[in-house]
Structure 1
Amino acid sequence: MQELIYHSIYKVSQARGSGSCFYLKDYNLFVTNSHVVEGFRQVALEDHHRNRYPARVILAHPALDVAFLKAESDFSFLPDLPLAKEEAAIGSKIRVAGYPFGMPFTLTEGTVSSPHQYMDGYYQLQTDAAVNPGNSGGPMLNEKGEVIAITTSKFTNADNMGFGIPIHTLFPLLEKSRNLNLEYLSIQCSCCDEIITEEEDYCPCCGNKIPFYLFHERPLTDIAVYCEKAIEDMGVNPLLTRIGQENWTFHSGKSEIRMFIYQQSFLFCTSPINTLPKKNFGPLLHYLLTVPDLAPYQIGLNGNQIFLSYRIHLSDVLSDTDRIIQKNITQMAARADELADYLAETYGCGFPPCTRIDQPVNNSSFSIKTE
């Protein structure tokens, strides 16, 4: 049963990067760090199978570094992730769960170095378990599988020093969440704990200065807006594709599409469409070397993977060919799927792990030529 609770721990992504979060069934909310979602009203949640779901930030307590997310999908099927009723004891075993560096789900173990380390105005739990960027917002679990703290940070210039927000400090905020208007973002004042539901310069209760950025979303860059229009034209919600600053990964059909800005000079769109066959790949290599014009796309090899790619200099995006380029980006997903199936059927190529085999091939106007 304890293994099932890990299914309640998700990755949370936005246009600056990613972190971790976990689902609390009793409150129908996901919990993460405030700094993970700062500057964004909407984020994407990703489960262990890389399925993504939209969610809204409904409450943030920046000083405590806690935020609550409300997902649009039904997550009642998830197992209950229990909250610890007792505080952690020094020397007790602890597990840190999450998605470090945006990688797939990981679990690291350690011990509680200090259950009451005073930092930044709050008591935090200190552990020697491995804590890395991307773990932020995920749970720290005791030996019973109960959430004992929320991972929040580590010292970058020290080893084996990670910190978490003790879960008992979260209980009053969770109870207040039951009465929130879930359609809007609320901020909890760090001075008096007043819930502020409208944009204010100062807390209406105690007069504490409210940082101006808390109610404002970070704007996308012009190139990000341009790319996301192409993604939207594929029938994909751009919100669910963001994995960092000017960086997107998604599926429109079966092939994974990766888009990113390289060295502030090029926009790359690339898709790992196939893997080399185990044997008799002479005919395939001949085809790849003599493949007819796939312009504006290129086909190439990296290790045992075959890629379809499209590279654009950013100066071209700002020229009068921008609409043509945007259309080429949109059509690349269909081309990747069609070519992937052709290579699999004709030359016995496999598919990389990121391929969604159960997805049908997009209908497209492209044709694969062999002469």
Structure 2
Amino acid sequence: MTNKDIIDQYQTAIIQIATQGGTGTGFYLRDYDLIVTNNHVVDGYAEVTIAGKQFDKTLSRVWYTDRKHDLAFLQPPASHETADIKLGTYDQLKDGDAVIAIGHPFGLNYTATQGVVSKVDRVRDGLKFIQIDAAINPGNSGGPLVNMNGEVVGVNTFIIRGGDNLGFALPESYLRTALDIYKPHKGVPGARCASCEFLVLPENLDSGKYCPSCGSEIQLPELPKEEYEPVGAAKTIETILKQLGKDVRLAREGVNIWSVKEGSAKIVIRYNPENYFVAADAYLCRLPKEANYIKSLYEFLLRENYNSNGLVLSCVKENIILSMIVYDLDLTPDAGVNSFKHLFQKADAYDDLLKHEYHCLERVEE
């Protein structure tokens, strides 16, 4: 297969994963009807948000965790169409083989990097890892390492910080074993003991928190009895979003980052506690292709900015963005509801107007 064939094949199988603590990558295996990722991507969460090419952002249950092998399995969305990707054979992998790492590094969705296997069986902490020189970065964690036959031969797991393209993937053999162990119990929360590798389930959990095989303490991926509650400005932002009818669990995209949709506009809210400001950017449409519309469009944007009330229209490359900035101490639930409601309504209205009157193009989403 060519690089393009492989990348095209994996587009619909690659999953974006987000928690309150950060983001990562996963991939769907149809044979097991599970999403595979790293345990450290979802560590501490029994429910995360996922998104893919064929489905909108939705909540996903974490069913299986494996701290020793840094693996986790998630529930796929109810209705989805994804590529049928297959597991390869780690034993056939050799030093120097070409591989491709696919994931979402630094929020750059669906990034593929090619490299070679530097060492097929690098041992760390008693486990074999595939050392690769394909560039992987934060956000790649949990993504597939793919051979040139288009098969998954590993799970991209970690890098050595400060190293020059020193990446490591968990071999397919460990993943296949974990999948086969959990498959008969699909839909039941389970955790593989890091000490003895016994699969612990609610039915065999000893005294509510210990492995029945070796006695090690185990934490199953159970849903919390009380919903997560942020603090400070983040709590105020989520209170505002709730009052505006948004699902904050789906809106969370990482630490102090939220994303919601209003009509055809996408609004990204960021809070930076270091400079005390909350910034909300509504991503509208793109600049028109026809040059004769550009001048009148710019004139319209300038007029609107002159007359606007706390909102600013701008062009970032070819994207048109409607922005609002609020000092965190000025952000109260009551005032915030009015401000954000105004932003949401104007964003949706501007998006429709710009496309209709100035032939602006639809926003491109990954």
Question: 2:152 — aligned with what?
Answer: 147
Query: Which residue in the other structure is 1:97 paired with?
Result: 102
- Which residue of the other structure, out of 205, 208, 224, is the alignment partner of 2:213? 205
How far apart in 2 are the matches of 1:9 and 1:276? 29
Taking structure 1 as the reference length, what is the TM-score of the superposition?
Answer: 0.83
Matched, 1:313 2:321: no
What corresponds to 2:271 in structure 1?
Answer: 261
2:240 is the counterpart of 1:230 = yes
SS at match of 1:309: strand
Gaps of 5+ in 1: 357-371
1:279 aligns with 2:292: yes
Q: Distance in 2 between the 1:101 and 1:69 partners?
A: 22
TM value normalised by structure 2: 0.84
Which position in structure 2 is the counterpart of 1:299?
Answer: 313
What residue number does 2:178 align with? Answer: 173
Listed as ranges, the gaps of 5+ residues in structure 2 are none
Q: Is 1:12 paired with 2:17?
A: yes
Deviation string 1:302-357 (CA, Å, 9 cap, x unpaired) is 4554432222211123xxx42231243144222211123334444x152463479x
C-alpha displacement of 1:16 = 2.0
Question: More deviation in 94-103 or 46-55?
Answer: 46-55
Instruction: Give the RMSD, CA atoms, in angstroms.
Output: 2.9
Identity across the alignment (%): 27
Match among 209, 217, 231 for residue 221 of structure 1: 231
Provide the rounded CA distance (Å) in 2 between the counterparts of 1:6 and 1:14: 22
1:226-282 deviation digits (Å, cap 9, x = unpaired): 323433444443333322201122322111111001335011112133445533655
5 Å-filtered alignment, 1:11-30, equals: 11-30=16-35
Matched, 1:191 2:174: no
**1:260–1:269 CA contact under 8 A, matched in 2:** yes
**Are 1:36 and 2:41 an aligned pair?**
yes
The DSSP-based 3-state class of the residue aligned with 1:279 is helix
Structure 1 Cα separation of the partners of residues 223 and 157 of structure 2:
22
Where does residue 333 of structure 2 map in the other structure? 322
Which amino acid is the alignment partner of residue 230 of structure 2?
L
Equivalent position amino acid for 2:216 in 1: N
CA contact (8 A) 2:28 2:36 kept: yes
Structure 1 residues 332 and 49, CA, compared in 2 at 3 Å: closer, same or farther?
Answer: farther
Report the CA distance between 1:93 and its aligned residue.
1.4
SS at match of 1:178: helix
Q: Which amino acid aligns with 2:193?
A: C
C-alpha displacement of 1:26: 1.1
- Conserved 8 A contact 1:230-1:327: no
Match of 1:369 in 2: none
Any idea what SS the aligned residue of 1:340 has?
helix
- Alpha-carbon shift at residue 219 of structure 1 (Å): 5.2
Matched residues in 2 for 1:96 and 1:355: separation? 21
Q: What is the number of equivalent residue pairs in this alignment?
A: 350
Q: Are 1:230 and 1:330, in contact at CA under 8 Å, matched by a contact in 2?
A: no
